Structure 1
Amino acid sequence: MSRQLLAMALAPLLGLFILGIGNGFLATLITLRLDAAGEPAVVIGWVSSAYFIGLALGAMLNDRLLLRIGHIRAYACFASLVAVTVLLQGLWLDPWAWFVLRLIGGWATVGVYLVIESWLLTASDTKVRGRLLALYMISLYAAGVVGQLLLGVTDAMSVTAPFMVIGLLASLSVLPMAMIPRVSPLLEQAEPLSPLRLITLTPTGVMGSFGSGLAVAAVYSLLPLYLQRIGLSVSQIGQMMAVVVLGAMLLQYPIGRWSDRHDRQLVLILIGAFCALISAGMLWLPLNAWMLASLLFLLGGGVFALYPVAVSHAADRAPAGALVRMSQGLLLINAVGSTVSPPLITPVMDAVGDSGLFWSLGALGLVLVGFFFWRRSVKPAPIPVAPFTASSPMTSVGAELVITDELVQGAIEHEHVEDLSHAVPEVPVAEPLHGPPRREDGIIEYVDEEDGTHHSRPAESR
């Protein structure tokens, strides 16, 4: 990677890291504060869902604003709005006001991701996208780990201090973008494939993306609630959530590379079964600190690997011209799953207790296993067309980062092989000639009656 490209990518990645530290523990903080205020799990679920609703809306609409005002000004607007919504939450604790603020905050946060991802996308060609995506994911996950650990540090301060720290970090993230030379990368408006077209093209990819949204949103929004209710302190909850993010960061790539060498549908089946098994362990195994940390580490690795493997499976089936729009569409399907997750799971937690979270995750894992088994029996998975690429971009524009030269070339070769398999020419078989000689285009064809051999000679002109 050239120094010029690294310098151009450094500012947005640094901004992502700074803002991601605060955003990494904000969801945990909100869940804990609402629970401490005596709000029921259903209310906490709806407030958590508001953030994902904002993410989904922003993923579809924010690119229009970015096209009008440019990257740097758009980043400043979105980051400032994130800071304002967080600071207002620190000043005013009301669940329905927080619902509105979280919705606006989700809309603004995905705007920040849109600027960063589109900047990285347009700053490079497809040959270096894999390396840029790796840097993006390192920044994203590292910020998540640091943010969760910061939760315990800020808890020793005043009640409003954590919100102030998150607001400060959001404001500070503007500096790297504002201090670089003014540039305006080109950007095209995203047009993802429709859900119906996606279901027709890749039912497994759609179900995997939707199920991943359900599971990841539950982990981010409701796992802190479970940990608090089993008696962990705020500092310990932050550490356990950091372990979850660390598991996601360390296990996602090995699982993905394993899927390169095996049937991806089989890998998805095993991931679903693995998540169900870990959920059962959370329900029935004796949980000391080390056992809890180990199970959460594995849960993070399984849950967060589901989406990129599903996207890679979908890419194995998609034609080269539809790869980008397919990736964008699956990202929005994932956002829909994240949106409906907390409102679906919190009633279960109210009905059966805090363990309802893991009953729900276990049931989700079994449903995914059944669906993937059925799809594998109906239509076996194709051979992977390109190496696994981790998929963590947050916006439909940034989803194009995962479409590398290798993936496009693999899809083209896959299409070519399929075309040849469906267009095998029929080889005509010569029928033996019997009876009198036949005249065709000045040639007389006949069969020697003694040895049965086929002969031809020019016809004599009359």
Structure 2
Amino acid sequence: MSRQLLAMALAPLLGLFILGIGNGFLATLITLRLDAAGESALVIGWVSSAYFIGLALGALFNDRLLLRIGHIRAYGCFASLVAVTVLLQGLWLDPTSWFVLRLIGGWATVGVYLVIESWLLTSAETRVRGRLLALYMISLYAAGVAGQLLLGVTDALGEAAPFMVVGMLASLSVLPMAVIPRVSPLIEHAEPLSPLRLIVITPTGVMGCFGSGLAVAAIYTLLPLYLQRTGMTVADIGQMMAVVVLGGMLLQYPIGRWSDRHDRQLVLILIGAATAVISLALLLLPLVTWMQVALLFLLGGGVFALYPVAVSHAADRAPAGALVRMSQGLLLINAVGSTLSPSLITPVMTAVGDGGLFWSIGALGLGLVGFFAWRRSVRPAPQPVAPFASTPPQTVVGAELNVTEELVQGAIEHEHQEDLSGVVPDVAVAEPNEAYREPNDVSA
């Protein structure tokens, strides 16, 4: 990677890392504070859902604001909103107020991701996007691990200290973006494929992305609640959550490469089965610390790998012209799953106890196994058209980072081998770079 490209990508990646440290433990912190205040699991679930509702709404509409005011000013607005909502949460604890603040915070957070991803997308040619995406993922997951480890340190400083730290980090993340004397090209609005069309094209991809949203949101928002009610300290909970995120980061690529060499539907079936088995083991076995750490590491690896493998499977079926819009649609399906997850699982936890979290994740895993096995019997998976690329859930703009030249070429070759005229619509989609234009005036 050239020095020029690295210099272009350094500002957004550094901003992402700084903000991501605070955002990495905020969901855990909110869950623990609500539980310590005596709020029910149902209330905690609704407050947690507010964040994901904000993410989904922002993914649909924030690009319009970016078009109007540009990248740097938009980043400053979104990051400031994140800081304000978090600091307000530190002033008083009220579930209704926190619901509204988390919704606004989710809307602003996805706006930050939109700016960063669109900046990266326009920073270089298609041939280096894979490396940019790798840097993006390293920054995102490294910040998540660091944030969870920082939770215990900040919590020991006082009740308001963690919220102050998150607010300061959100404000500091503006600096790398503001000091760069350049505005990246503006983006144009693009509509994703509708859910019904996605179901027709790739039922397995849709169900995999939806199930991933359910599982990942449950891990981030409800696993800390379960761990706290087992008697762990805040510092211990942060360490366990860091283990989960680390498992997702380290196991995602090996599982993905495995899916390149085998039927991706079979890999999805095995991921679902492993998720169910691990969940039941965490629930039923008399665990010692090292065993719990190992199982949580594996659970994170399976849950976090579900989304990129499902997206890769969907890409194997998509025509070249629909790749970007299909990725955007699957991302929104994932966001819907994340939104519903806390409010669906917390009633189970209320009815059967805290172990309802793992009963729910286990049941989800078994349900995915049954669905994927049925789809495999009805329509076997095609041969992978391009190498697996590790994929975190992103914004609808950042989804284009995954559309590499290899994937487009593979989709073109796949169209020549299989008649999709009755399955996939004639979708007109611009090539990734065509949705972006350099402004005449690039002054800040």
* TM-score bracket for this pair, using the shorter chain length: over 0.9
8 Å CA contact 1:217, 1:338 repeated in 2? yes
Q: Which residue of 2 aligns with 1:263?
A: 263
Q: Which residue of 2 aligns with 1:339?
A: 339
Q: Which residue of 2 aligns with 1:151?
A: 151
Give 3-state SS (helix, strand or coil) of 2:418's partner: helix
Q: Which residue of 2 aligns with 1:441?
A: none
Q: Which residue of 1 aligns with 2:204?
A: 204
Structure 2 residue 267 is the aligned partner of structure 1 residue 275: no
Q: Which residue of 2 aligns with 1:225?
A: 225
Q: Which residue of 1 aligns with 2:430?
A: none
Letter in 2 for 1:147: G
Deviates more, 1:165-174 or 1:281-290: 281-290
Q: Which residue of 2 aligns with 1:105?
A: 105
Letter in 2 for 1:336: V
8 Å CA contact 2:307, 2:393 repeated in 1? no
Give 3-state SS (helix, strand or coil) of 2:165's partner: helix
Q: Which residue of 1 aligns with 2:243?
A: 243
| Number of aligned positions between the proteins | 421
8 Å CA contact 1:63, 1:189 repeated in 2? yes
Give 3-state SS (helix, strand or coil) of 2:74's partner: helix
User: How is 1:78-117 mapped onto 2 (pairs within 5 angstroms)?
Assistant: 78-117=78-117
Q: Which residue of 2 aligns with 1:292?
A: 292
Q: Distance between the aligned counterparts of 1:222 and 1:214, measured in 2?
A: 11
Q: Distance between the aligned counterparts of 2:363 and 2:370, measured in 1?
A: 11
Give 3-state SS (helix, strand or coil) of 1:192's partner: coil
1:100-145 superposed Cα distances (whole Å, 9 cap, x missing partner): 0000000000000000000001111210010000000000000000
8 Å CA contact 1:257, 1:388 repeated in 2? yes
Q: Per chain length, whose mean CA-contact separation is higher, i.e. which structure has more relative contact order (CA < 8 Å, sep 6+)?
A: 2
User: How is 1:385-400 mapped onto 2 (pairs within 5 angstroms)?
Assistant: 385-400=385-400
1:57-103 superposed Cα distances (whole Å, 9 cap, x missing partner): 00000000001000000000000000000000000100010000000
1:168-218 superposed Cα distances (whole Å, 9 cap, x missing partner): 000000000000112232312121000000000000000000000000000
Q: Which residue of 1 aligns with 2:48?
A: 48
1:275-312 superposed Cα distances (whole Å, 9 cap, x missing partner): 00000101111111111111100000000000000000
Q: Distance between the aligned counterparts of 2:407 and 2:140, measured in 1?
A: 23
Q: Which residue of 1 aligns with 2:127?
A: 127
Q: Distance between the aligned counterparts of 2:179 and 2:148, measured in 1?
A: 28
Residues 393 and 186 of structure 1, relative CA distance in 2, 3 Å threshold:
farther
* TM-score normalized by the length of structure 2: 0.94
Deviates more, 1:243-252 or 1:121-130: 121-130
8 Å CA contact 1:122, 1:187 repeated in 2? no
Task: Give RMSD over aligned pairs.
Answer: 1.0
Flag as ranges the 4+ runs of structure 1 deviating above 4 A.
Answer: none
Q: Which residue of 1 aligns with 2:12?
A: 12
* TM-score normalized by the length of structure 1: 0.90
Q: Which residue of 1 aligns with 2:425?
A: none
8 Å CA contact 1:245, 1:300 repeated in 2? yes
Letter in 2 for 1:234: V
Letter in 2 for 1:310: A
Letter in 2 for 1:40: S
Q: Which residue of 2 aligns with 1:30?
A: 30
1:393 CA drift (Å): 4.3
Q: Distance between the aligned counterparts of 2:173 and 2:153, measured in 1?
A: 20
Q: Distance between the aligned counterparts of 1:123 and 1:182, measured in 2?
A: 11
Q: Which residue of 2 aligns with 1:214?
A: 214
Q: Distance between the aligned counterparts of 1:399 and 1:178, measured in 2?
A: 25
1:328-371 superposed Cα distances (whole Å, 9 cap, x missing partner): 00000000000000000000000000000000000000000000
8 Å CA contact 1:51, 1:105 repeated in 2? yes
Task: Mark the structure with the bigger radius of gyration.
Answer: 1
Unaligned runs of 5+ in 2: 423-444
1:391 CA drift (Å): 1.3
Q: Which residue of 1 aligns with 2:169?
A: 169
Letter in 2 for 1:7: A
1:46 CA drift (Å): 0.2
8 Å CA contact 1:117, 1:393 repeated in 2? no
Letter in 2 for 1:101: L
Q: Distance between the aligned counterparts of 2:339 and 2:277, measured in 1?
A: 25
1:397-434 superposed Cα distances (whole Å, 9 cap, x missing partner): 111101111100111111112259x9xxxxxxxxxxxx
1:412-459 superposed Cα distances (whole Å, 9 cap, x missing partner): 111112259x9xxxxxxxxxxxxxxxxxxxxxxxxxxxxxxxxxxxxx
1:2 CA drift (Å): 1.2
8 Å CA contact 1:265, 1:381 repeated in 2? yes
Q: Distance between the aligned counterparts of 1:11 and 1:304, measured in 2?
A: 27
Unaligned runs of 5+ in 1: 423-462
User: How is 1:49-88 mapped onto 2 (pairs within 5 angstroms)?
Assistant: 49-88=49-88
Q: Distance between the aligned counterparts of 1:154 and 1:31, measured in 2?
A: 15
Q: Distance between the aligned counterparts of 2:184 and 2:272, measured in 1?
A: 42
Letter in 2 for 1:22: G
User: How is 1:268-417 mapped onto 2 (pairs within 5 angstroms)?
Assistant: 268-417=268-417
Letter in 2 for 1:273: A
Percent of residue pairs identical: 85
